[in-house]
Amino acid sequence: MNIQLLNKNISDIKADILVEFLTPDALIEHAEVKILNQAGFKAEQDSICFLHEKGLLFCGTDSKKSDDIRSAATSMVQALKSSNYQSVAFSVIKKNSLAAMVEGVILGGYEFNEYKSKPKEITLKDISLASNELDFEELKTTFDEALIIAKATCFTRDIVNRAPQELNPETFAILAKKLADSNSLECNILAEDDLKKENMGAMLAVGRASIHESQLIHLSYKPANPKKIISLVGKGLTYDSGGLSLKPSASMVTMKMDKAGACAVLGMIKAVSELKLDIEVHAFVGAVENMVGGDAYKPDDVLVSRSGTTIEVRNTDAEGRLVLADVLTYAQETVNADAIFDFATLTGACMVALGQYTTGLMGHSHKLKHDLSRAASASGELTGSLPFNRHLKKLLKSEIADISNVASKPYGGAITAGLFLDRFIKDENKNKWMHFDIAGSAYTESAWDCNVYGGTGAGVRFMSEYLKNI
């Protein structure tokens, strides 16, 4: 679908169908209220009503706030994709909701059909947004930025949705190199021999039983005079069987999504480079496959991490934190960043705590939490803060090593996973670091908001919003 912003009145645009977003209050005063009432349309959130003979589509929205408009635009584009209309036009409601309209169309209309032999053909080709505002150039800037971020989110979704036989650590590195080439990014990839030289003992243990070599990927975007330096770290488990602590078979389905943190940081650096922000950004990815075999790491193993911290393995399905421990250490030693953010589908416990739709936010800096939460809210993504405390930290004690990779009690699992990572953050970086658990928000098997089946691209929109405002 082609989407464009035009400096025109809606009446001057030729389209097969025109769309109006109506609140319940606006419906009462609308010229078509009689026929809409006859059709049973009440302008409830996400409801739609076609008046085909008039070439009109009405979309209900509780308010003109961005979250409601985004959801209504999603319903609109999905209804139009099921029709035979080729072109559609609608007016920009206000500048503050323009990005939400773009996201509703692009993200709500997203499909991943690469594995279907005969994907359904979509008739809808052209989508026009109309506005004759005096500050059209400013509006166009907002539109262009929203388009870049939405497409970066779709890029992230595409990687998450790729099947594990196609996307393994080695092919993930190839994909990252292609992104670097297309977006003029620096790229450094460490294969297993390099990882051994770098003493990445925890990360190497997780991937030991896989036929695919583990990879550490480092992409860099370096503008001339950056205001800040940001490090983004992503968990890249291209597939997670659970290792010898084998997952139940039903739980293995969708485990291609365990690379969503890594996919998100690639989407973020893609967006930053295309927005041309004056911020230096480094994306670090630990790409690993956790499999079962004669060489698999085992419960009771003691691993030596890059930092020298020894780790008692009590569950091989708590593998993402082992990978991140080494990658976080490497990132801190490689780049002196003003902020360090890691993204990981780390714990099912985060979904228990916050639900499926919300990203867990953990760290020490209250200011950083506040700034990130505000950016997330502005972007339409949901975050919830989970508090660290010294009592949960005690649960990671090991009798034979420096730390255990799982807590001795099952409660507060998302927080204890975050506290494990905290062990590998240098003291001088404690207030610069934030951990995001996207286990619930990164993948969905039932549509919600502008998220369709599969990868959601969680993190890309809110981190882009945060970085834009630095």
Query: Token digits for 204?
Result: 């190497």
What pLDDT shows up at residue 237? 98
pLDDT digits (tens, 9 = 90+) for 190-215: 999 999 999 999 999 999 999 999 99
What pLDDT shows up at residue 170? 98
Q: Which amino acid is at 431?
A: N
pLDDT at 464 over 90: yes
The 3 state secondary structure assigned to 110-171 is CCCCCCCCCCCCCCCCEEEEECCCCCHHHHHHHHHHHHHHHHHHHHHHHHHHCCCCCCCHHH
Average pLDDT of the segment spanning 293-302: 98
Average pLDDT of the segment spanning 272-293: 98
What pLDDT shows up at residue 414? 98
Residues, the chain, total?
A: 470
pLDDT digits (tens, 9 = 90+) for 137-189: 999 999 999 999 999 999 999 999 999 999 999 999 999 999 999 999 999 99
The sign of the CA dihedral 133, 134, 137, 142 is negative
What pLDDT shows up at residue 218? 98
Q: Which amino acid is at 301?
A: D
247 among known catalytic residues:
yes
pLDDT at 130 over 80: yes
Q: Is the pTM of this model over 0.85?
A: yes
Catalytic residue among 247, 314, 374, 468: 247
423 among known catalytic residues:
no
Average pLDDT of the segment spanning 316-335: 98
What pLDDT shows up at residue 95? 87
What pLDDT shows up at residue 94? 87
What pLDDT shows up at residue 132? 86
pLDDT at 120 over 80: yes
pLDDT digits (tens, 9 = 90+) for 361-418: 999 999 999 999 999 999 999 999 999 999 999 999 999 999 999 999 999 999 999 9
Domains along the sequence of the chain with CATH: 2-133 (3.40.220.10), 163-468 (3.40.630.10)
What pLDDT shows up at residue 2? 95
Which residue from 382, 346, 339 is spatially nearest to 363, judged by alpha carbons?
339
What pLDDT shows up at residue 133? 78
pLDDT digits (tens, 9 = 90+) for 229-258: 999 999 999 999 999 999 999 999 999 999
CB-CB contact of 381 with 359 (8 Å): yes
Cα–Cα dist 261/346, whole Å = 9
pLDDT digits (tens, 9 = 90+) for 427-438: 999 999 999 999
Q: What string of DSSP letters covers 225-275?
A: S-S-EEEEEEEEEEEE--TTSPPPHHHHTTGGGGGHHHHHHHHHHHHHHHH
Catalytic residue among 151, 157, 235, 321: 321
Three-class secondary structure of residue 290 per DSSP: strand
The pLDDT mean for the chain works out to 97
Q: Which residue is it, tokens 């204890």?
A: 416
Report the phi/psi class of residue 115: left, alpha or beta, with left for phi > 0 and alpha for psi in -120 to 50.
alpha
Cα–Cα dist 459/343, whole Å = 8
Which residue from 8, 67, 93 is spatially nearest to 381, judged by alpha carbons?
67
